[in-house]
Chain A
């Protein structure tokens, strides 16, 4: 006797499921907005504090800017990543998701996309603010800066989402996420700072290319690796 229930519904494919999950996460984030605003305010405060931490007469502010930018980017990104799986853990909503026929990788991709939007949103405000505070020249370099920020965000989010999924199930969640993620963020920060310093100083793209190559390779390797590793972080 054919089982009607099996025939009737067609669970969404991986891309559509990822999109639905990302949309759900963003809807939740949009309702409260606290995490986004906290990360944003943190980034702006950090950029401000860094300025006073250096002697502006010894080093030009515009030389400091790339470093400041990517360090604040990293730490405000971590703030956003912290809450990423908390919402699933709170009432065990993740169990309801795991009982459905949805691909496990789609859960990871959906959350990563939502985190990417979050981080990109914070960056969209922070970068102009840093350019303002540090007197960075607005010009051709700005577009390149946005592109580098996007590439760096992809890498950050790929690794951070996976470690957030792991950390939330452990005893030391808030400590573990930064501790595990930061070594992985180091190549991202180095590449982003190195290439953006070159491009903001007006150097040709060819000089920044070695760094950009590392950044792109990092993104490709870790998006694939983390997507494949994610199912292992679910209880089985």
Chain B
């Protein structure tokens, strides 16, 4: 039976960069570049006006939150239950925290976009509602982690939760979709990506890359912090 002693973490712990974290800087720079391009070089949309530019923040964040952060969380949790490697647990934890930030961005920009465009703060739009539930799930995950001190139990329990949440999200999506088809909501203008003219499309897709880059940087930094925290705790326990 392979040893699960966490002493092993102290040996190869990646250090929180003593120098600059280039990945995060690159991420931030590209997000800034997208903003610049969005405001200065991309014309506002005809029907919606300047508020439409929130889409360049809203849509990529939603993509990263669900398909990158949450998927990574659920996947590494499943792998942790199988392989029992602490590194997987740290990745899941980092993905959850960074994912929470992105999810919050989606939930804030959604109403900010909705009010000037549709006249309503919240319309129970299928994707936005799914993101709301994702937010609840990630918060529950982090609260659960906060309520358990022992590292092994904390990793196991949160892995179980994340794995089950991975099964839940499709059900929520289906339920909300069915709910909306059964209860017709006021028709809402829904500008979506495919009908965009070229210059907006370029801004749109580069926004996706920028936010993904930033996600990777934040994830890595958070992971390093988790490794450092755990190896510090190990060293304290050995004393």
The reply to whether A and B meet directly (CB within 8 Å) is: yes
B81 CB contact (under 8 Å) in A171, A194, A232: A232
The answer to whether A176 and B147 touch across the interface, beta carbons within 8 angstroms, is yes
Chain B residue at minimum C-beta to C-beta distance from A235: B153
Please measure, in the bound complex, the distance between the C-alpha atom of A215 and the C-alpha atom of B133, giving whole angstroms.
18
For this complex, 28 residue pairs linking A to B, each with C-beta atoms less than 8 Å apart, are A159-B164, A166-B144, A166-B157, A169-B148, A170-B148, A170-B157, A171-B147, A176-B147, A180-B161, A183-B165, A184-B164, A186-B172, A187-B168, A187-B174, A190-B176, A190-B178, A191-B175, A194-B182, A211-B178, A214-B175, A214-B178, A221-B171, A225-B167, A229-B160, A229-B163, A232-B81, A232-B156, A233-B160
A interface, size bucket = 20 to 34
B interface, size bucket = 20 to 34
The answer to whether B182 and A170 touch across the interface, beta carbons within 8 angstroms, is no
Chain A: minimal CB distance from B78 (Å) = 10
Q: Which residues of B contact A171 (CB under 8 A)?
A: 147-149
- The B interface, classified by DSSP as helix, strand, loop or mixed, is helix
The answer to whether B164 and A190 touch across the interface, beta carbons within 8 angstroms, is no
Q: Which residues of B contact A183 (CB under 8 A)?
A: 133, 136-137, 140, 165, 168, 172
Q: Which residues of A contact B133 (CB under 8 A)?
A: 183, 186
Judged by a CB distance under 8 angstroms, whether B159 is at the interface is yes
Please measure, in the bound complex, the distance between the C-alpha atom of A214 and the C-alpha atom of B175, giving whole angstroms.
7
Q: Which residues of B contact A232 (CB under 8 A)?
A: 81, 156-157, 159-160
Judged by a CB distance under 8 angstroms, whether B143 is at the interface is yes
Judged by a CB distance under 8 angstroms, whether B179 is at the interface is yes
Q: Which residues of B contact A210 (CB under 8 A)?
A: 178
What are the 3 A-B residue pairs with the smallest beta carbon separation, nearest first? A170-B147, A187-B171, A187-B175
Q: Which residues of B contact A190 (CB under 8 A)?
A: 175-176, 178-179
Please measure, in the bound complex, the distance between the C-alpha atom of A169 and the C-alpha atom of B160, giving whole angstroms.
14
Chain A: minimal CB distance from B20 (Å) = 38
| Besides A191-B175, A194-B178, A225-B163, 10 other A-B contacts (C-beta < 8 A) | A162-B160, A170-B144, A179-B139, A180-B140, A183-B172, A186-B172, A190-B179, A211-B178, A225-B164, A229-B81
Q: Which residues of B contact A222 (CB under 8 A)?
A: 164, 167
Chain B: minimal CB distance from A161 (Å) = 12
The answer to whether B164 and A186 touch across the interface, beta carbons within 8 angstroms, is no
Chain A: minimal CB distance from B58 (Å) = 22
* CB contact under 8 A between A187 and B172, given known A169-B153, A194-B182: yes
Interface residues as binary, B122-152 with A (CB distance below 8 Å gives 1, 0 otherwise): 0000000000010011011001100111000
Q: Which B residues are closer than 8 A to A by beta carbons?
A: 81, 133, 136-137, 139-140, 143-144, 147-149, 153, 156-157, 159-161, 163-165, 167-168, 171-172, 174-176, 178-179, 182
The answer to whether B157 and A218 touch across the interface, beta carbons within 8 angstroms, is no
Chain A residue at minimum C-beta to C-beta distance from B179: A190
Judged by a CB distance under 8 angstroms, whether A4 is at the interface is no
Q: Which A residues are closer than 8 A to B by beta carbons?
A: 159, 162, 166, 169-172, 175-176, 179-180, 182-184, 186-187, 190-191, 194, 210-211, 214, 217-218, 221-222, 225-226, 229, 232-233, 235
A-B contact number at CB 8 A: 85
Q: Which residues of B contact A182 (CB under 8 A)?
A: 136
Chain B residue at minimum C-beta to C-beta distance from A173: B147
Q: Which residues of A contact B179 (CB under 8 A)?
A: 190, 194
Q: Which residues of B contact A211 (CB under 8 A)?
A: 178
Please measure, in the bound complex, the distance between the C-alpha atom of A187 and the C-alpha atom of B137, giving whole angstroms.
14
Q: Which residues of B contact A159 (CB under 8 A)?
A: 164
Please measure, in the bound complex, the distance between the C-alpha atom of A210 and the C-alpha atom of B176, giving whole angstroms.
12
Q: Which residues of B contact A218 (CB under 8 A)?
A: 171
Q: Which residues of B contact A221 (CB under 8 A)?
A: 167, 171
Please measure, in the bound complex, the distance between the C-alpha atom of A232 and the C-alpha atom of B155, giving whole angstroms.
10
* CB contact under 8 A between A176 and B160, given known A186-B175, A190-B175, A194-B179: no
Chain A: minimal CB distance from B133 (Å) = 6
Please measure, in the bound complex, the distance between the C-alpha atom of A211 and the C-alpha atom of B178, giving whole angstroms.
8
Q: Which residues of B contact A233 (CB under 8 A)?
A: 156-157, 160
